[in-house]
Amino acid sequence: MSTLERLTVSQAAAALGVSESTIRRRCISGKLPAQQVTIESGPAWMIDAAAVEATSSGAVALRAPSLELEKLGNDVREIRAFLAGQIATREDTRDELAAVVARALQPLAESIERITEENEKLRAELRAASQNDHRTWWQRLQQQSKNQIPPAE
């Protein structure tokens, strides 16, 4: 094969209307007849010009088949629609659960409020009682014990 019968990667890419990376991948996989040679700047692929010409006449060989891309696009759309439905269902379920939890917590919140009010009333009564009685706690306890024990006969 002479130099005139071979193309560089960039020439083959331009002739076929694809990227240089695509040409290299096809060379490596063997889908495009090529030979790796060493030039001044390092290794390079030299592609058979006849193969490039044959491929350009039936350009489908280097490009992904449009039917396959269309199928993949349809699959992606189906999956996306499915996932959107799943997200909507989970959001509805989350909202329902939040409503159930709120209904379940309502009596507890009311009980807490009632108990807090009773606690405040008892604290106020205790403060009022202790303001009038200046005895220590043990003196009050001792007096209370005397009041509960019946006198000896």
Q: Residue 13: give the domain boundaries.
A: 3-63
Residues 57 and 25 in one domain: yes
Q: Is 127 found in the same domain as 69?
A: yes
Averaged in consecutive runs of 10 residues, what is the pLDDT profile of the chain (153 residues)? 74 89 90 88 88 71 64 92 95 95 94 96 85 79 79 60
What's the pLDDT at 59?
53
149 located within any domain: no
Answer for the pair 52, 13: CB distance below 8 angstroms, yes or no. Answer: no
Query: What pLDDT, on the 0 to 100 scale, is given for residue 150?
Result: 64
Q: For residue 15, tell me if it sits in a domain.
A: yes
Residue 61 confidence (pLDDT)? 46
What pLDDT was estimated at residue 136? 82
Query: Quick check: is 34 in a domain?
Result: yes
DSSP 48-107: EHHHHHHHHHTGGGTSPPHHHHHHHHHHHHHHHHHHHHHHHHHHHHHHHHHHHHHHHHHH
pLDDT at site 149: 66
Q: Which of 64, 85, 62, 82 is nearest to 74 (CA)?
A: 82
25: phi then psi, degrees, rounded to nearest 5: -60, -45
**What CATH code is carried by the domain that includes residue 32?**
1.10.1660
Indicate if 43 and 91 belong to the same structural domain.
no
